[in-house]
Structure 1
Amino acid sequence: MSHFTQLRTKITELEHLVAALADVGYATVETHDEARPLRGYQGDRRRQRAHVIVRRQHVGAASNDLGFERQEDGTFRAWISEYDVRELGAGWLGRVEARYAYHATRATLARQGFSVAREETDRDGTVRLVLTRQATGF
Structure 2
Amino acid sequence: YKISTDIVLRRWISWYNNGKRFKEHKRSERGLAMNKGRKTTREERAEIVAFCIENNKNYTLTVEKYNISYQQIYSWLRKYEINGVEGLIDHRGKSKKQEGLTEADRLRMENKILQAKLKDQEMEIKLLKKLRELRGGGH
Q: TM-score, with normalisation over the residues of structure 2?
A: 0.30
Q: TM-score, with normalisation over the residues of structure 1?
A: 0.30
Whose strand fraction is larger, Structure 1's or Structure 2's?
1
Larger radius of gyration: 2
